[in-house]
Amino acid sequence: MTRIAIIAAMAGELKPLVRNWAHEGSEGVDVWHWKFDEGEWVAACAGAGVEAATRAFAAAEKDGALDMVISVGWAGALSEDLKTGRAYSVSGVIDVRTGERFDAESGRQAENEKQKQVLRLAALAQDDMAHFSPAGRETPAVHERAARHLDLVTSPRVADETEKRRLAAGYEAHLVDMEAAGVARLAQMRGIPFYAIKGISDGFNDKLPDFNRFIRPDGRFDMTGMVLFSILRPWYWPSLVRMGENSRKASQSIREAVLDFLDERAYIRERNGYPNLKH
């Protein structure tokens, strides 16, 4: 069985993708499954940070070895060129804590790997291809697939406006998150392909509260504390509303990008009665 893992930090990042997938949750980790023919897509999240991503990765591989892993989720822009609400394929990931760099599968390399993963499945019903109906195809993904080289840095903290400028200058990177390097390291240890798709939730010049105070030790976000903090600081309201809308759009764009990568023509989904085929 071909098993592909999709690792995120927050359930909201995965919500459009895993709608109507089988769900299970325990010990602070949420896992969703969709099985098809001889394969399975499994998505997992456990909170922000490398440690939480490690727990999510472990949950994803609990039922069997993984053949590929994709790090997805919200990221901050380190360049004004990157548009909020849009998902981007990442070329490389740098761990701020260790200085390590991990290459992400991209371009032709990723396309070749994808073909290897689905070749056997496509061969099962080659004669049916002539009858493929385009009705179930997804709207073209609003994302950039290796159109240019984009590096992401993984930081142990949420980057504010000042930190974004430091990371952009120091690493010549384009995005910042808190998990991808951890996922990349685990993929490297297992010798499996690593891929990263990140949606921009906040722009390079956005002025936002310090979210670090609301991240619990287990990586979970203290939404109640954030709401109480914001109520007393109305000057943050416009930027928080924009971020909420950007995050919603980014999650949708991540969904489209992931499905476009895994099943570009919706062949696997149509053949197996995907629960959320038509958007």
pLDDT (tens digit, 9 = 90+) per residue, 219-263?
Answer: 888 889 989 989 989 998 888 899 999 999 999 999 999 999 999
Residue 192 has phi, psi (to 5 degrees) of: -115, 155
Does 8 or 105 have the greater pLDDT score? 8
Summarised one tens digit per residue, pLDDT across range 157-198 is 999 999 999 999 999 999 999 999 999 999 999 999 999 999
Residue 171 · residue 98 · CB < 8 Å: no
- With 70 as the cut, is the pLDDT of residue 16 above it? yes
Task: Write the CA distances from 154 to 20, 70, 176, 272, integer angstroms.
Answer: 31, 15, 6, 36
How far is Cα 240 from Cα 257, in angstroms, rounded to an integer?
A: 25
Residue 195 · residue 87 · CB < 8 Å: no
**Would residue 42 be called left, alpha or beta, if left means φ above 0 and alpha means ψ between -120 and 50 degrees?**
beta
Q: What local confidence, expressed as pLDDT, does residue 140 receive?
A: 41
- With 60 as the cut, is the pLDDT of residue 67 above it? yes
Structure tokens at 208: 């936002």
Dihedral angle of Cα 189, 195, 201, 204, to the nearest 10 degrees: 90
How far is Cα 50 from Cα 47, in angstroms, rounded to an integer?
A: 9
Q: What local confidence, expressed as pLDDT, does residue 122 receive?
A: 43
Position 195: which residue type? Answer: Y
- With 50 as the cut, is the pLDDT of residue 121 above it? no
Q: What local confidence, expressed as pLDDT, does residue 141 receive?
A: 44
Structure tokens at 229: 């903090």
Summarised one tens digit per residue, pLDDT across range 18-57 is 999 999 998 889 999 999 988 999 999 999 999 999 999 9
Does 3 or 113 have the greater pLDDT score? 3
How far is Cα 152 from Cα 89, in angstroms, rounded to an integer?
A: 10
- With 60 as the cut, is the pLDDT of residue 138 above it? no
Every domain of the chain and the residues it spans: 2-271
Residue 220 · residue 28 · CB < 8 Å: yes
Q: pTM value?
A: 0.85
- With 70 as the cut, is the pLDDT of residue 73 above it? yes
Average pLDDT, the chain: 86
Query: Percentage of residues in the chain with pLDDT exceeding 70?
Result: 84
Output the DSSP codes for 37-88.
Answer: TTEEEEEEE--SSHHHHHHHHHHHTTTS--SEEEEEEEEEESSTTSPTT-EE
Does 140 or 170 have the greater pLDDT score? 170
CATH architecture, range 2-271: 3-Layer(aba) Sandwich (3.40)
